[in-house]
Amino acid sequence: MKRSVFFISDGTGITAEALGNSLLAQFDGVELEKITLPYIDSPEKAAVAVQTIQAAAAQDGVRPILIDTIVNNEIRTVLNGCDALKIDVFSTFIKPLEHEFGIDSSYSVGKSHGIVEATRYKDRIDSVNFAIDNDDGARTKQYDRADIILVGVSRCGKTPTCLYMALQFGIRAANYPLTEEDLELDGLPESLKPYKDKLYGLTIDPFQLAAIRHERRPNSRYSSLTQCDTEVRYVEQLFKQQQLPFINTTTFSIEEISTRIMADRGLKRRIN
Amino acid sequence: MKRSVFFISDGTGITAEALGNSLLAQFDGVELEKITLPYIDSPEKAAVAVQTIQAAAAQDGVRPILIDTIVNNEIRTVLNGCDALKIDVFSTFIKPLEHEFGIDSSYSVGKSHGIVEATRYKDRIDSVNFAIDNDDGARTKQYDRADIILVGVSRCGKTPTCLYMALQFGIRAANYPLTEEDLELDGLPESLKPYKDKLYGLTIDPFQLAAIRHERRPNSRYSSLTQCDTEVRYVEQLFKQQQLPFINTTTFSIEEISTRIMADRGLKRRIN
């Protein structure tokens, strides 16, 4: 029996999705159909949403789950017309916060974004540009401006991690691929030596590396298990010899890699 | 009077931060110091966190706010030793869900990630690679594989939006910069014509565009208000003439631009 879950928001829906997915992941064996309804920012749009929700309920033969981060009371009232289990984040937690702060909250639609966006936008763009300009060892002149420089073999996850740190946290992250030539050196490549304090290593299971490289260049030396195994062994030796902090990315998501590195190095987000 | 807010998680802390920031944004004029404590995944780490929290409370002279997404009961018990207002997401919402599903939840640490990560990782990497390979009109041969192709003048927000859609949703997003030469044409550039259905326009306030371009190339023709104004006027004419959907990015965050475009085009996330 399938059951529909709706993530409903007056904004992007990203918070409702993240919270809802975390909660629902605690339930094994329940078959769920997840639907996000973002930008429900008027009673009219809420009325359309109610129709969608009721149609799903009729098809499922069981009442749906609503996980919402709607702030506005008028909109919420319309949604309350549905027969559903409602996980209602704002009305649950706003009251205790009002009591604690001793003031009323501003129950306005989409309040969590707005005024700060212009600065935030600029900082994010700067960080994204920095990550792109300093991707894959493309240049090393800007390393003095970097918050962190990720090092590791080709395709171990450096680029998406740098981009994620830039977009999510405004961190200026560069990355440098350690190639076979680099790994034959005794020590770090010259261009990295002055920035040893900013270096953070990524490593990866050789089997997974071979699978990822195989997608890019099938049946090549580059993607062979022997080659991947050798490179990973060399790179881990280098990290240990140089006493660089490093993380094995094999079982981690990009969010986890990024936040673990930041926690380990005490890097603070530049945007909120 | 400053008050400390702690976002506490056994994982990345991203959900706790997103939820907490949305709630706290409803309170104007409250001075808050926000601290994220991620990866609190053992009672020992929780005990260290409690010390941090209590030290902050002593300094503030007022009890702190804890916003947590901790799943494990043992860890939660340690955190309950703090005198604080606790916004306790899991224990609040898990019970009604257990009741609704008629089964117990698996109260395991960090359960929301794990098994699905390998596939998710690969899909994300593919999308990120796609975004990078197809950034800034670098190539147009892969447009048949694109989910969406963003078009707009230089520095209007195309690249970060594409990267965000790739990382967050696994969407394959390409982008093509409409240059002066393109805008002098009568109609779309040749390389875009076969993909008209995938095109989505971005536009921006000329003043903001000039400010952004000024950062890149100060006091240039490229960053002059006259130039920005002309380009924006041309590009909006083109969007209207070609009946392309478009969005003005000026007041939106990257999350908002991405999710609005996806909602408008009915694009579904490829990763969960």
Instruction: List pLDDT tens digits, range B119-169.
Output: 567 788 889 999 999 998 888 889 999 999 999 999 999 999 999 999 999
Spell out which residues of chain B touch residue A20, defining contact as CB-CB under 8 Å: none
CB B202 within 8 A of CB B246: yes
A246-248 and B32-37 strand pairing: unpaired
Q: Can you list the pairs that B214-220 forms with residues at least 24 positions away whose Cβ atoms lie under 8 Å?
A: B215/A122, B215/A126, B216/B155
Spell out which residues of chain B touch residue A89, defining contact as CB-CB under 8 Å: 19, 22-23
pLDDT band at B117 (very low <50, low <70, confident <90, very high): very low
Is the pLDDT at A47 greater than 80? The verdict is yes
**Model pLDDT, residue A15:** 86
Mutate to test the interface with A, among B22, B87, B99 (most CBs of A within 10 A): B22
pLDDT band at A186 (very low <50, low <70, confident <90, very high): confident
**Model pLDDT, residue A107:** 57
ipTM given for this complex? 0.83
Is A159 labeled as ligand-binding?
yes
Of A26, A94, A256, the CB nearest to B12: A256
Burial class (CB in 10 A: 0-12, 13-18, 19+), A76: buried
CB contact under 8 A, B15 and A14: no
Q: Which CATH architecture has domain A114-265?
A: 3-Layer(aba) Sandwich (3.40)
Tokens coding A265? 């190095």
H/E element, B5: strand B3-8
Is B162 labeled as ligand-binding?
no
Q: What is the pLDDT of residues A73-107, one digit of tens each?
A: 889 899 999 999 999 888 899 889 989 998 888 75
pTM equals 0.84
* Average pLDDT value over all residues in chain B: 90
**For chain A, what are the domain ranges?**
3-101, 114-265
CB A79 within 8 A of CB A49: yes
Q: Which residue on chain A is closest to B25 by alpha carbon?
A: A112
Q: Which CATH architecture has domain B3-101?
A: 3-Layer(aba) Sandwich (3.40)
Mutate to test the interface with B, among A8, A41, A101 (most CBs of B within 10 A): A101
Compute the nearest-CA separation of B183 from chain A (Å): 25
Spell out which residues of chain A touch residue B112, defining contact as CB-CB under 8 Å: 21-22, 25-26
Q: What is the dihedral of CA B153, B249, A120, A151, to 10 degrees?
A: -50
- The CA-to-CA distance between both ends of chain A, in Å, stands at 41
- Ramachandran quadrant class, B170 (left: phi over 0; alpha: psi -120 to 50; beta: rest): left
CB contact under 8 A, B112 and A14: no
**Model pLDDT, residue A125:** 84
CB contact under 8 A, B253 and A113: yes
In eight-state DSSP terms, residue B136 is: G
User: Would you say the CATH fold of B114-265 matches that of B3-101?
Assistant: yes
